[in-house]
Amino acid sequence: MKNTFGNCVSVTLFGESHGKYIGAVLDGLSPGVRVDEASVARELEKRRPAGRISTTRVEADRFEIVSGVFEGMTTGTPIAVIIPNGDTKSSDYSRGLPRPGHADYTGFVKYHGFEDYRGGGHFSGRITAALVAVGAIVKGALASRGIIIGTHIARCAGVDDAPFSDISREIGILNEKTFAVLNEGAGERMRALIESAAAEGDSVGGVLETAVVGVPAGVGEPWFDTLEGVIAHAVFSVPAVKGIEFGAGFDAADMRGSECNDALSLSGGVVVTETNNSGGINGGISSGMPIVFRTAVKPTPSIFKPQKTVDILKHEEAVLELRGRHDPAVVHRARAVVDAVTAIAVADMLEERFGTDYFGETR
């Protein structure tokens, strides 16, 4: 049962969508990292449902840090965060009819029918609240080293946002927004199309673009623990993520080498690249340039249209007509989760490179 990610900095998730609590244990983070609970609450707010473009299940997310933090600083021992569940309607769910696109069937097979199926159980996007909470602590540790992370909705329902241009400045802007776009006009069109899909009982997906600024050159391992490989591993843990590309990504396949290669130059005595088609990573190792990647988020599988399924208890074909409260899109909420897992992955690789005291203050 693999519910843990990371080596030097690791996170273990626990809980179910309709259980009493969800939570996470963050282990390995340096002692002496300042923990700002207000910043944790702000990150959770970015993930929370927002009006007609989200589910009507709204949890308070009143988190509690129950270990690993003393007098506002990390102690170096495991940090446990718990978040109670409250706004649940378990009667909307049944074991026998797996929802297409969800893990209902695969979870039934893996756990032999003993899984908590209510609201998706342990597979639910609800569990990502715990990831966001511990990810916020790690983001604070990264910021103390001048490393910042930000994500915008690059595309949703076929509408494109403006691309990154001045990344460091734009990350600051995005981190103050609930609906993270660089072009407000594009954001309004996205919202309208999400609402339109919801009115039809349907859903939409999108693409997130994430940037990490300030990671020093030389972080990452060749071959099996490449920096992009570790980030991708973490990002693919986020429900609804179906693809990831770094830098030019799949567009690089249509370039010539003369177009794709990032020429090296000096800026203030520091080696930089004049373009960033590699997304800040070469040979699995950071170049010192911004790490940039895009994540494909599928349409929410919970839709209010009749769908073919199989009654797995009676072993006969059936038609599912969904009940419950569901998001017509999750891309805008997944943004906070992608930031969180990216922070954990990057912090893990930084401690592997520079040691487990890398982030902490000393007395």
Nearest to 8 by CA among 149, 219, 151: 219
Q: How many CB atoms neighbour CB 305 within 10 A?
A: 11
- Distance, in Å, from the CA atom of 74 to the CA atom of 202, rounded to the nearest integer, reads 44
Asked if 299 and 329 touch (Cβ cutoff 8 Å), the reply is yes
- What is d(CA 327, CA 200) in angstroms, rounded to the nearest whole number? 13
Residues 6+ apart with CB under 8 A from 7: 28, 348, 352
Regions of the chain where pLDDT drops below 70: 1, 56-57, 363
Q: Are 54 and 125 in contact (CB under 8 A)?
A: no
Cα 56 off chain centre by: 21
Please give the radius of gyration of the chain, using alpha carbons only, rounded to the nearest integer: 21
- What six digits make up the tokens of 78? 């495991």
| DSSP classification of residue 84 | E
Task: State the pLDDT at residue 34.
Answer: 97
| pLDDT tens-digit map of 176-221 | 999 999 999 999 999 999 999 999 999 999 999 999 999 999 999 9
Taking the CA atoms of 32, 33, 35 and 36 in sequence, report the sign of the dihedral they define.
positive
* Dihedral angle sign, alpha carbons of residues 102, 3, 18, 235: negative
DSSP letter, residue 299: P
Q: How far apart are CA 283 and CA 293, in angstroms?
A: 16
Give me 353's structure tokens: 């490179």
Domain 4-354 CATH class label: alpha beta
- 87 neighbors 54 (Cβ within 8 angstroms): no
User: What tokens were used for 175?
Assistant: 């981190």
Start-to-end Cα distance in the chain = 39
Q: Residue 164's pLDDT is what?
A: 97
Q: What is the tens place of the pLDDT at every residue in 312-325?
A: 999 999 999 887 77
Q: What is the residue extent of each domain of the chain?
A: 4-354
pLDDT score of 1: 53
* pLDDT at residue 60, rounded to an integer: 83
Largest CA distance in the chain: 70
**Whole-number pLDDT of residue 120:** 86
Q: Looking at residue 250, what is its pLDDT?
A: 97
C-alpha span between 130 and 256 (Å, rounded): 43
Find residue 318's DSSP bridge partners.
309
Q: Which residues of 151-182 are buried (b: 16+ CB within 10 A; e: fewer)?
A: bbbbbbbebebeebeebeebbeebbebebbbb
Q: What tokens appear for 102 in the block? A: 């969800």
CA-to-CA separations, 84 to 19, 68, 125, 136, 185, in angstroms, rounded: 8, 19, 15, 18, 37
Tell me the C-alpha to C-alpha distance, in Å, between residue 193 and each of 51, 53, 102, 104: 14, 9, 23, 28
- Checking DSSP bridges between strand 291-297 and strand 241-246, what pairing results, if any? antiparallel
